Structure 1
Amino acid sequence: MAIEGMINIMLSLVFIGLSFWALQAFRFDLFLSEARGGRARLLQVFLAIVIGHGVARFFTDYYGWTQMLRQFFV
């Protein structure tokens, strides 16, 4: 149980970091008046957290589903 929790935390952090990195390519200046301001950076961080958590949740759910499928063959 503890190892599973650590894996979930690490997956979340990795995918949040990847999401933040990917959002650097997005042109926020087209939608925001101050694309380099503090509020724009905070928005980027929040978007990275939401996207990264969603992707990590997908992978942990997918892993759980594959573990449940093993019960078909037991």
Structure 2
Amino acid sequence: MAIAGVINILLSLAFIALSFWALQAFRFDLFVSNPKGPRAILLQIFLSIFIGHGIASFFTEYFGWTQLLRQFF
């Protein structure tokens, strides 16, 4: 249980960092008036947390589902 928790935390942090890196390529200047301002940066942080957590949750659940498939055999 503890190892699974650590893996989930590390997986979440890794995908949050990856999504933040990927959002750097997105053109926020089309949607916000000041893309270098603190509110736009906060929006990028919130979006990266939202996206990264969703992707990490998907992979965590997918791994859990593959573990459940062992019960078939």
Q: If the length of structure 1 is used for normalisation, what is the TM-score?
A: 0.98
Sequence identity (%): 74
Distance 1:53 1:31 in 2: 23
4+ residue runs over 4 A deviation: none
Distance 1:63 1:54 in 2: 14
2:43 equivalent in structure 1: 43
Distance 2:25 2:58 in 1: 23
- The residue type paired with residue 44 of structure 2 is Q
Name structure 1 gaps, 5 residues minimum.
Answer: none
Distance 2:27 2:9 in 1: 29
Q: If the length of structure 2 is used for normalisation, what is the TM-score?
A: 0.99
- The residue type paired with residue 23 of structure 2 is L
Give the alignment's Cα RMSD to 1 decimal. 0.3
Distance 1:35 1:19 in 2: 17
> Helix, strand or coil for the counterpart of 1:71?
helix
CA displacement at 1:29 relative to structure 2: 0.1
Distance 2:16 2:32 in 1: 22
